[in-house]
Amino acid sequence: MAVATGKSFVSRFGVHIAVFIFVAIWTIPTLGILVSSLRDKDQIIASGWWNSFTSSSQTEAGRLPPASAQVEKDGKFVLQGNIFGDGPARNISAFGVKSAAPTQYPAGTTADLGDGVTLQLNADGSFVMTSPKAFESERGQRVYYASSAPPKFTTDNYDTVLFSEGIGRSFMNSLTVTIPATVIPILIAAFAAYALAWMRFPGRALLIAVIIGLLVVPLQMSLIPLLKLYNGVGSFFGVPSKTYLGIWLAHTGFGLPFAIYLLRSYIAGLPREIMESARIDGASDFEIFVKIVLPLSFPVLASFAIFQFLWVWNDLLVAMVFLGTEGDQIVLTAKLNALLGSRGGDWEILTTSAFVTIIVPLIVFFSLQRYFVRGLLAGSVKGG
């Protein structure tokens, strides 16, 4: 736009800042799960992901060994060892013995616990506790410490979700649903769109009006009758009612009004002369469609394909009604929803699974954004 509203430095600067803030709000949430999915799972709960590049510190509690582990040395009773046991070493910065003051003493110093009892806890976790009297308690001394671990990034989470949480399998299921459910409606819609745009037959105007009306019919209207229909067909023929074929046809049905609407408005805009000259040369409608209309319609076919792909891949409702929820049928969105229930607090699983489910749409979206926007502009009557 040629009109600069306010040419002063301040107002221009303000625009940059404002846009920057919007971009930040719109990207940071996604960045959060990407970063978290690559973090070590213990660190995810120890510190916010925005701190993931600095050492994470946390206050923990541990117990020293019980009295049975003591040895007598130089007239004193000594407990010795490492508070981390065989676990991974961390860096202790401070420790304490009261929950109210968990970081009372810096690491490496010797704390006086009264009655001549002393405790020394070093940065690497090794400790020495001495007492003039024999330790008696069978429960070891409780020790609090602040430890920090260096930033740790790993792809372990991806290994876990892909191969042991079933996300890999669901990924395949999603592809199995999405590809046919994208291709089948294109073919059916393209023929119908051509007929509605360029062929004369009674009832054409009515058919177009019906299709525009169907554009906004909520999916919810179809669910119960189709579920009943599928169950009926399944029991009549003695086949399962939840099948891939069933969901392909369902997605085809739900995508068709938009497909026909989008393709028809594009095909109707193709130049009349091309088609008329082909007709004079003796080409039939079928030949005109295959040899002229289809190649010329490539951009709009691509637009629709992207739409349908994203819509089917991202769909949860249709998949939950028409597909099973077991391993060989559950799609990514449904799996992610199930994980939210069963692995509610395990953010390493959730963030990683979420990223796996959104990566394919993001790639499709970024590589084909041009077609996507074109389709959006042409078909913005549709209710999504």
Partner 1 sequence: MAAQIFSAIFVIIIGVGGCVAYFWGANKALDTIFPARGVSGKAAINNLRRQGVIRPWLFVGPAMIILTIYLIYPVVETLRLSFLDRGGGHFVGLANYQWAFGDREFRNSILNNIIWLAVVPAACTFLGLIIAVLTDKIWWGTIAKSLIFLPLAISFVGASVIWKFIYEYRGDGQTQIGLLNAIIQYFGGQPQVWISLPFWNNFFLMIILIWIQTGFAMVILSSALRGIPEETLEAAVIDGANPFQIFWKIMVPQIWGTIAVVWTTITILVLKVFDIVLTMTNGQWNSQVLANLMFDWMFRGGGDFGRGATIAIIIMIAVIPIMVWNIRQANKETEGH
- From the CB of 271, what's the least distance to partner 1, in Å? 14
**Helices (H) then strands (E): counts for the chain:** 15, 9
Residues 290-349 within binding reach of partner 1 (CB under 8 A): 310, 313-317, 320-321, 328, 333, 336-337, 340, 347
Does 285 engage in binding with partner 1 (CB under 8 A)? yes
Residues 231-250 within binding reach of partner 1 (CB under 8 A): 244-245, 248-250
Render 359-377 in DSSP notation, one character per residue.
Answer: HHHHHHHHHTHHHHHHHHH
Does 64 engage in binding with partner 1 (CB under 8 A)? no
Does 280 engage in binding with partner 1 (CB under 8 A)? no
Report which of 331, 333, 324, 323 is spatially closest to residue 170, judged by C-alpha positions: 331
Residues 23-52 within binding reach of partner 1 (CB under 8 A): 23, 25-30, 32-33, 36, 44-50
Q: Which residues on neighbouring strands pair with residue 127, listed in sequence order?
A: 81, 121
Which residue shows structure tokens 């389709």? 375
Residues 96-155 within binding reach of partner 1 (CB under 8 A): none
- From the CB of 122, what's the least distance to partner 1, in Å? 25
Does 286 engage in binding with partner 1 (CB under 8 A)? yes
Of positions 107, 260, 262, 330, contacts partner 1 by CB under 8 A: 260
Which CA distances in Å does 18 have to 23, 260, 342? 9, 40, 40
Nearest-angstrom CA–CA distance, 307 and 302: 9
Tokens of 268: 């109707």
Residue 354: φ, ψ to 5°? -60, -40
Strands (E) across the chain are located at 56-63, 71-73, 76-82, 91-96, 105-106, 110-112, 118-121, 126-131, 142-149
Tokens of 5: 């509203």
Does 230 engage in binding with partner 1 (CB under 8 A)? no
Of positions 127, 145, 254, 266, contacts partner 1 by CB under 8 A: 254
Stretch that binds partner 1, among 19-27, 87-95, 146-154, 292-300 (CB under 8 A): 19-27
Of positions 16, 68, 271, 326, contacts partner 1 by CB under 8 A: 16
- From the CB of 378, what's the least distance to partner 1, in Å? 11
Residues 169-228 within binding reach of partner 1 (CB under 8 A): 169, 172-173, 175-176, 179-180, 183-184, 187-189, 191-192, 194-196, 199-201, 204-205, 207-228
